[in-house]
Amino acid sequence: MTAEARAPATLVDAMRTTDIGPLLAGLFSELVDGAVADGGAFVLNSGDVGLLRSLDKISPPDASCSVNDGATIAAHAQHVRYGLSLMNEWASEGGNPFASAKWDEAWKTSAVDGVTWDEIRTGLRDEAHRWLQVLQSPREVNEVELAGMAGSVAHLAYHLGAIRQINKGARGPKEGTPTCASVARAGR
């Protein structure tokens, strides 16, 4: 059945997040706060510090750099912060805060000074941990809301990857990651 043929999800279609919430929270936490060092990671390499501590290693000038005319790290961080603020607004107040979202504002973030960069990182940390609490708390949702909750994990993973492509200082551990040279030496 195509998406167009389905009726919009209603409260009749509601489901509890009791089973999937902890799984989403675990993945989100790994991306935000890092992976455990003993091999229990699912997305990141073991011992990876995650998004927040990776951003803490980035200076304001580095957060302000654009690569190939793309967005800055500061813009990516501000965009994720804003998206999570909308998710948190939905979780606490209901409704559809996305209907009036101003996504373009975050992407205008370019040069940041120390105070602004600290504000973005602190705001992102606060919104991420608030959202983590939501993911950990069972709630009744419809199909669209559950998709949004799962999508928040994928969205965060995308932006973590984008940030790590912009600045190698934000990248995770290299252990166990083959390089082009090691693959060539192995004759692959």
pLDDT mean for each 10 residues of the chain (188 residues): 50 80 96 85 91 97 93 97 98 94 94 98 98 96 95 97 92 65 54
Cα–Cα distance, 100 to 15 (Å, whole number):
26
Q: Residue 11: what pLDDT?
A: 47
The sign of the CA dihedral 15, 43, 81, 101 is negative
Q: Residue 172: what pLDDT?
A: 84
Q: Which domains does the chain have, with CATH numbers?
A: 16-185 (1.20.120)
- CA-nearest of 29, 19, 25, 23 to 141 is 19
Cα–Cα distance, 32 to 54 (Å, whole number):
9
Q: Residue 176: what pLDDT?
A: 56
The reported pTM is 0.84
Q: Residue 88: what pLDDT?
A: 98
Q: Which two tokens stand for residue 37?
A: 């060092």
- CA-nearest of 24, 58, 27 to 164 is 58
Q: Residue 173: what pLDDT?
A: 82
